[in-house]
Amino acid sequence: MLTKWKRTEELSFLNEVSAVALQQSLRHLHVAFANFFGKRPSYPRFKSRRRSRASPKYTKAGFSWRDGELTLAKMDRPLAIRWSRPLPEGSAPETVTVSRDQAGRWFISLVVETSTPPHPVIHAAVGVDVGLSSLVTMSTGEKVSNPLHEVRERSKLTRAQRRLAKKTKGSANRDKARREVARIHARIADRRRDFLHKLSTRLVRENQTIVIEDLNVSGMLRNGKLARAMSDAAWSDFRAFLEYKAQWYGRTVIAVDRWFPSSKICSACGQKAESMPLNVRDWRCDGCGAAHDRDVNAAKNVLAAGLAVAACGGDVRPTRRQPARRLPAKQEARPVRVVASRLHARR
């Protein structure tokens, strides 16, 4: 069918590019439909030639790599690339993906086979509590403030979106205004991604074990008042960066159950407070009288619970009554939450 499409007047533009990229797009379409009929994702969405993110993929038959220069099929000269990093020594790309974002910027991603040496083993662990005022609060007491990337560009973004709304649909001026909005969004996303990469890399380098909360971010985004701020914080991206970097460098990331009441439990004595509204940022334990910063206390409890999981196995469940389970003879039921509070008290 691909050969017939190239001969039609409507789809003659397909002859302008390499057949390798076209064949790869059909393979991607096959995988999308196979996943759909396997009842995994939803029905594949149409990808517009003009409005979608263009991302052709080339295998070894569709490009040449000589002396550090990349030449794609049907091109008479190598691409002028501004490299973000050098390729590993002695490696050659196996596949090349060329992509263009909505701002009109072009990127090239090269897949090479290499090995990542693990970081030296260190005896350090940290609990991480994410938030909005402080993006990250660590069990050590350190707080990393939220840079608020979207807030810094909000006025420019608002003006650009107003100009876009006034342009005639289909006009060249509207396309220029659309690219301006896309450039502002791209600038925000680049700054956010750069900040999260630096923060996650630092945590992975400095700690052998990192304990985080398993937050239901998609559900939390349904809160209309905080959805914009939570999207700007990008908690899901931060967790994804931590997990794959930890896998690369021989670190461990433990996710504590989302219903674990880390903010209500006293990290000193383990007593649980009846309620803890969001506006309470500092509180004092009724049992031992210890004064707590809400976020630092939560990070300490997350760390203690994660270490309990690492030592005993299982999951960290919330402090609530659960139905009794039948255990084998000579095995004592010992909830993980109790071990978590005692472990931290001993430490």
Q: Which of 256, 274, 309 is the last residue of a domain?
A: 256
Choice among 76, 213, 237, 243 that is catalytic: 213
Same domain, 67 and 130: no
Q: What single-letter amino acid sits at 33? A: F
Range of the domain at 89: 2-111
Q: Which residues pair with 110 in a beta bridge?
A: 96
Dihedral in degrees, nearest 10, Cα atoms 189, 192, 195, 200: -100
For range 162-173, the mean pLDDT:
95
CA–CA separation, 294 vs 284, rounded Å? 10
Look at residue 288 and tell me if it is in a domain.
no
Looking at 25-29, 55-59, 263-267, 275-279, which range is the least confident one? 275-279
Query: Is the predicted pLDDT of residue 331 greater than 70, yes or no?
Result: no
User: Rounded to 5 degrees, what angle do the CA atoms 239, 237, 115 make?
Assistant: 75
Look at residue 346 and tell me if it is in a domain.
no
Region of 162 please: left (phi>0), alpha (psi -120 to 50) or beta.
alpha
Same domain, 155 and 34: no
Look at residue 40 and tell me if it is in a domain.
yes
Look at residue 84 and tell me if it is in a domain.
yes
pLDDT one-digit tens code per residue, 187-220: 999 999 999 999 999 999 999 999 999 989 989 9
Q: What pLDDT score does 310 carry?
A: 74
Choice among 67, 129, 237, 243 that is catalytic: 129
Same domain, 63 and 150: no
Choice among 101, 295, 315, 332 that is catalytic: 295
pTM (predicted TM-score)? 0.81
Instruction: Decide if 139 contacts 302 (C-beta within 8 A).
Output: yes
User: Rounded to 5 degrees, what angle do the CA atoms 294, 295, 301 make?
Assistant: 90
What does DSSP say about strands 209-213 and 125-130: parallel, antiparallel, or unpaired? parallel
pLDDT one-digit tens code per residue, 84-141: 888 888 888 999 999 998 898 999 999 999 888 889 999 899 999 999 989 999 999 9
Burial of 242 (0-12, 13-18, 19+ CB in 10 A): buried
Look at residue 22 and tell me if it is in a domain.
yes
Q: Which of 256, 281, 302 is the last residue of a domain?
A: 256
The per-residue DSSP string of 199-219 comes to HHHHHHHH-SEEEEE---HHH
User: Rounded to 5 degrees, what angle do the CA atoms 20, 93, 99 make?
Assistant: 55
Same domain, 129 and 228: yes
Query: Is the predicted pLDDT of residue 335 greater than 80, yes or no?
Result: no
Question: Is 295 tagged catalytic?
Answer: yes
Reported as a pLDDT band with limits 50, 70 and 90, residue 333 is very low
Q: In what helix (H) or strand (E) does residue 292 lie, and over which residues does it extend?
A: strand 291-293
Q: What pLDDT score does 301 carry?
A: 93
pLDDT one-digit tens code per residue, 250-293: 999 999 988 888 889 998 888 888 888 888 889 888 888 889 99
Same domain, 23 and 87: yes
Q: Which residue is it, tokens 């994660």? A: 306
Same domain, 93 and 157: no
Same domain, 130 and 238: yes
Q: What single-letter amino acid sits at 170? A: G
Same domain, 149 and 237: yes
Question: Is 69 tagged catalytic?
Answer: no
Q: What single-letter amino acid sits at 110? A: L
Question: Is 282 tagged catalytic?
Answer: no
Contacts of 66 (CB under 8 A, 6+ apart): none
Same domain, 102 and 147: no
Look at residue 305 and tell me if it is in a domain.
no
Same domain, 64 and 160: no
- In what side-by-side order are the strands of the sheet with 106-111? 57-58, 95-100, 106-111
Total number of domains in the chain: 2
DSSP state of 291: E
In the chain, what is the greatest distance between 2 CA atoms, to the nearest angstrom? 81
Same domain, 47 and 137: no
Same domain, 35 and 149: no
Look at residue 166 and tell me if it is in a domain.
yes
Written as six digits, the tokens of 210 are 């990192």
